[in-house]
């Protein structure tokens, strides 16, 4: 039977190629948009249960006095406290957007044990006051311009250099890290808090990141920290890392849902086009159906033959769409990674792509197959 299926497909190359191409585009877009939604939720899903975030109760954009760090560290059950401050600068051009944070280097490694960094690079970062480390995906983007031991000049948009707004902050690249957890992306630059504090003459911090001791009561710690500054000078709000990550997704409003609907709409449009194509194919093959039935093909065999055509075209297009999504994953990580650092084609997305193609093939082929199966030999030959 498959020989007959492929002869029909090859016998109408333009129609077959257009159908395969349409399904390819639909499945590719479905995989792409689904992966974007997955990337948006990656930080939430990968959040650690032993990390807490302390921020201003007013807004994430309101800083906290760095003096808070010592008192927070004294709360029972808090194992380590690290300062994080968004730098908001850019490399060479404002379009080169990526995350940059001033951090406590020692506490950073304690709070985020998932940071993987060669020992000598880690030591270099700890020892050199103006040093920085970058994620491997970010390093890959600028590998022709950056090198270990070299200098990365950053223009401080939020924190201009004291020597002038056009003067670059110069960070020595101490190492390239890899995060094994989606809670910390691999497209960020971290530099020493001490260098930032002394140069910018600042005594405030954006967020404190806490590591909770094993077995400690997280709810009690959150309540106790919030109570410390109930009366100021700056009230705080302590949240779990999962809730903190969720804030950023929430800031996008209905974007994840909107993106999902776009993917579903594209798939539905392709499905309708496939149904129309298979109905046309069935009309063109009426004479062939008559001949097959004259040769002894049953209604069931005719039904399977027409359905197999639809499934073959859609599955071929679906497989091509999934392969295209996988083939472009590396490129799209570079393009989309700044805004969607967790972008990846997961096995569930691959399965969704194949499942969508299979569903298209079944739905698009059922009606034409049923119409062909109902034809008797004389009707089919007359309809030629």
Quick: pLDDT tens for 209-258: 999 998 889 899 999 999 998 887 889 999 888 877 776 655 555 556 66
**pLDDT surpasses 90 at 101:** yes
Kindly report, residue by residue over 327-361, the tens digit of the pLDDT.
988 777 766 655 666 677 888 889 988 888 888 88
Rounded (10°) angle between helices 299-327 and 255-284: 140
Rounded (10°) angle between helices 329-336 and 299-327: 50
pLDDT, position 15: 77
**pLDDT surpasses 80 at 137:** yes
Mean pLDDT value across residues 57-73: 87
Domain ranges of the chain: 2-43+254-382, 63-233
- Residue 146's CB is within 10 A of a number of other CB atoms, namely 17
Look at residue 162 and give its three-state secondary structure.
coil
Is it true that the peptide bond before 70 is cis, omega within 30 degrees of 0? no
Do 191 and 85 touch, CB atoms closer than 8 A? no
- Residue 335's CB is within 10 A of a number of other CB atoms, namely 12
Q: How confident is the model at residue 133 (pLDDT cuts 50, 70, 90)?
A: very high
Kindly report, residue by residue over 17-30, the tens digit of the pLDDT.
888 888 888 888 88
pLDDT, position 378: 60
Closest CA to 375 of 298, 274, 295: 298
Please tell me which of 44-58, 232-246, 261-275, 285-299 the model is most confident about, judged by mean pLDDT: 232-246
Q: How confident is the model at residue 121 (pLDDT cuts 50, 70, 90)?
A: very high
DSSP string across 85-150: EE---BSSSTTS--EEEEE-HHHHHHH-TTEE--HHHHHHHHH-TTEEEEEHHHHHHTTTT--TT-
DSSP state of 173: E
């Amino acid at each position: 039977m498959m020989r007959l299926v492929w002869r029909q497909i090859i016998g109408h190359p333009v129609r077959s190629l257009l159908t395969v191409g349409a399904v390819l585009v639909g499945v590719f877009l479905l995989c792409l948009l689904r992966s974007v939604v997955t990337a948006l939720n990656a930080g939430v899903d990968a959040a650690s249960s032993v990390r807490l975030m302390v921020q201003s109760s007013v807004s994430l954009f309101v800083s906290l006095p760095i003096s808070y760090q010592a008192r927070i560290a004294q709360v029972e059950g808090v194992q380590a406290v690290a300062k994080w401050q968004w730098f908001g600068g850019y490399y060479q051009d404002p379009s080169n957007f990526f995350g940059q944070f001033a951090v406590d280097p020692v506490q950073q490694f304690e709070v985020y044990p998932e940071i993987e960094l060669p020992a000598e690079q880690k030591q270099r970062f700890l020892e050199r006051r103006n040093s920085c480390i970058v994620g491997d995906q970010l390093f890959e983007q600028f590998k022709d311009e950056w090198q270990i031991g070299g200098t990365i000049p950053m223009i401080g948009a939020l924190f201009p250099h004291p020597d002038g707004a056009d003067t670059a902050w110069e960070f020595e690249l101490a190492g390239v890290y890899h995060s094994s957890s989606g809670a910390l992306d691999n497209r960020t630059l971290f530099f020493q808090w001490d260098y930032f504090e002394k140069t910018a003459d600042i005594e405030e911090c954006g967020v404190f990141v806490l590591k909770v001791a094993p077995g400690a009561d997280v709810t009690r710690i959150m309540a106790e920290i919030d109570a410390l500054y109930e009366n100021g000078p700056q009230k705080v709000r302590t949240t779990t890392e999962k809730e903190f990550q969720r804030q950023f997704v929430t800031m996008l409003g209905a974007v994840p849902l909107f993106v999902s609907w776009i993917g579903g709409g594209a798939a539905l449009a392709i499905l309708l086009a496939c149904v129309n194509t298979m109905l046309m194919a069935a009309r063109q093959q009426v004479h062939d159906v008559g001949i097959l039935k004259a040769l002894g093909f049953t209604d069931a065999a005719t039904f399977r033959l027409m359905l197999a055509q639809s499934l073959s075209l859609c599955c071929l297009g679906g497989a091509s769409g999934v392969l295209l999504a996988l083939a472009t994953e590396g490129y799209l990580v570079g393009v989309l990674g700044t805004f969607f650092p967790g972008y990846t084609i997961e096995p569930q997305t691959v399965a969704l792509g194949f499942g969508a193609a299979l569903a298209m093939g079944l739905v698009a082929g059922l009606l034409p197959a049923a119409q062909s199966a109902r034809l008797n030999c004389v009707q089919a030959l007359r309809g030629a």
